[in-house]
Structure 1
């Protein structure tokens, strides 16, 4: 009986964010990527509601697990930020912008945590920006040369991008345009691989950017052994949350197309990562990485299969297939290719 009026009082202040912000967002953070999930917090009789942003965090495997069976795991939801109301649950040390209709503050994603509103110095002001279209792309600068990073989103392959979602009603900010090829030419033989930015012909749609003074969200992800010199924050794009109930392979309702959507998959020592499975024109099924690693980064194709089913299975490969997949009567097998790479995706 109390939550409804509390929620209604918040809708006015959060008009620029609510509903358009709620859902999944995929980041173009180099190599690893990142997924943010915004959800509505209804509040209770003691606190106002708001919108909470969670960062998906997949568990890092222990060394002794590397030789064991690979089993995908669901991510932990790490509370990263909150969109609320000035004076409502805002930490005492957070200075809000004059006339703000909503307060945005960042939760530290590493280190000790304490409840907001008790004056912890760990909590600080954050911001969400609506960025204009961009032609910026990334590349890796090494002693062996420059290597382009996968476009994200790729203008020609972006089924994961949810174009039906509206973006927050904020003023567009012009995306920064830089060309760091000059920097690369001045450091012809870098001691450490360097991540740099340069323009390309691949237009990226409007996106949001999430920032704070300490870059908490972007600096707390998986470790990268490359030097990141990109002078702007990652962009976040609306991600389709196609969570489906699985269909048994021998069911009449099953088809390759029924596998399309968001999946979790294991990737050796890198553990679980997120892929979006795309159905391409009735001829091919493709697993594209939404999160990635130093070997095969976000935006790259992890694997692809054709629609020609392997049936019957050659007798010379029966034992190997059975050891891998179990009872082959419960399986459908298709030929395909996978992507493997050394560190850097060069």
Structure 2
């Protein structure tokens, strides 16, 4: 079951179903979940957040979900957890989203051997795994980079999202067969590719793709330049190294 906020400012929210299938590049199906009794979802008590912040919560049928863990309130209590929402502080959508009880999925903690992008031995599959990205006012978000061999692409799937582009969406992708040569600020040649990035209004409304340039700027670092109409923006991503409990280059 998926929990949906069906109306907000008179517009339906268009967030993608998450997860959208039971076969996911970031999901660790081998880890399993604790042996706990299975329970159904709690009752939804509709909440009013003010005249400009009303919405209707409901459960919707969708794709069967893989195993996950949720921390629900005790039986017969309301279906909200008042959990902190650090990614969207003071945003009109923050309160409804932070009140929804989340699911926790086991992630594939793939840690590939980092390779120097300037080396002839560099391979695009070395990018596969968890990364942390800077999304400006939305804060740091977690992504899983997938290497699609057949289509020659790198896709950055959002594990955590924000009020504009939520979890489950592909934040950006790079076309590995379309190189975009250039240099960095030091004049050194960099490995870069033509790509596209996903943008949307609040609630994932009017989602669209824009041109982007994906630069492999270091062994554990990626820079994405977004071709925004009003002002070009640059996002930085660093590899998450679970085995060392830290991020970034050595």
TM-score of the superposition, structure 1-length normalised? Answer: 0.48
1:177 & 1:203 partners in 2: Cα distance? Answer: 20
Counterpart secondary structure, 1:263:
strand
8 Å CA contact retained: 2:163, 2:204:
yes
Compared with structure 1, are the counterparts of its residues 230 and 322 closer, same or farther at alpha carbon in structure 2 (3 Å cutoff)?
Answer: closer
Q: CA deviation at 1:339?
A: 1.3
Q: Which residue of 2 aligns with 1:155?
A: 21
Tell me, which stretches of 5 or more residues in structure 1 are unaligned? 1-134, 314-320
Q: Which residue of 2 aligns with 1:165?
A: 31
Q: Which residue of 2 aligns with 1:342?
A: 201
2:204 & 2:165 partners in 1: Cα distance? Answer: 6
1:295 pairs with 2:164: yes
Q: Which residue of 1 aligns with 2:62?
A: 201
1:344 & 1:231 partners in 2: Cα distance? Answer: 16
8 Å CA contact retained: 1:273, 1:291:
yes
Deviations 1:105-162 (A, max 9, x none): xxxxxxxxxxxxxxxxxxxxxxxxxxxxxx3242452234212322222217621111
Aligned Cα root-mean-square deviation (Å): 3.6
Compared with structure 1, are the counterparts of its residues 269 and 177 closer, same or farther at alpha carbon in structure 2 (3 Å cutoff)?
Answer: same
Deviations 1:258-299 (A, max 9, x none): 111000111122232211111224322111111222222222
Q: Which residue of 1 aligns with 2:123?
A: 255
Larger radius of gyration: 1
1:172 & 1:299 partners in 2: Cα distance? Answer: 24
Q: Which residue of 1 aligns with 2:9?
A: 143
Match of 1:285 among 137, 150, 154: 154
1:194 & 1:142 partners in 2: Cα distance? Answer: 5
8 Å CA contact retained: 1:138, 1:196:
yes
Compared with structure 1, are the counterparts of its residues 279 and 137 closer, same or farther at alpha carbon in structure 2 (3 Å cutoff)?
Answer: farther
Higher mean C-alpha displacement, 196-205 vs 286-295:
196-205
8 Å CA contact retained: 1:177, 1:199:
no
Counterpart secondary structure, 1:201:
coil
Q: Which residue of 2 aligns with 1:271?
A: 139
Q: Which residue of 1 aligns with 2:85?
A: 221
1:332 & 1:230 partners in 2: Cα distance? Answer: 39
Counterpart secondary structure, 2:125:
helix
Q: Which residue of 2 aligns with 1:105?
A: none
Q: CA deviation at 1:322?
A: 3.6
8 Å CA contact retained: 2:27, 2:106:
yes
Higher relative contact order (CA 8 A, sep 6+): 1
Tell me, which stretches of 5 or more residues in structure 2 are unaligned? 206-250
Q: Which residue of 1 aligns with 2:52?
A: 191
2:150 & 2:13 partners in 1: Cα distance? Answer: 32
Deviations 1:150-179 (A, max 9, x none): 22222176211110112111122234587x
1:277 & 1:202 partners in 2: Cα distance? Answer: 23
1:194 & 1:340 partners in 2: Cα distance? Answer: 23
Q: Which residue of 1 aligns with 2:192?
A: 333
Compared with structure 1, are the counterparts of its residues 235 and 153 closer, same or farther at alpha carbon in structure 2 (3 Å cutoff)?
Answer: same
Q: Which residue of 2 aligns with 1:243?
A: 111
Higher mean C-alpha displacement, 168-177 vs 266-275:
168-177
Q: CA deviation at 1:300?
A: 1.6
Matched positions, count: 196
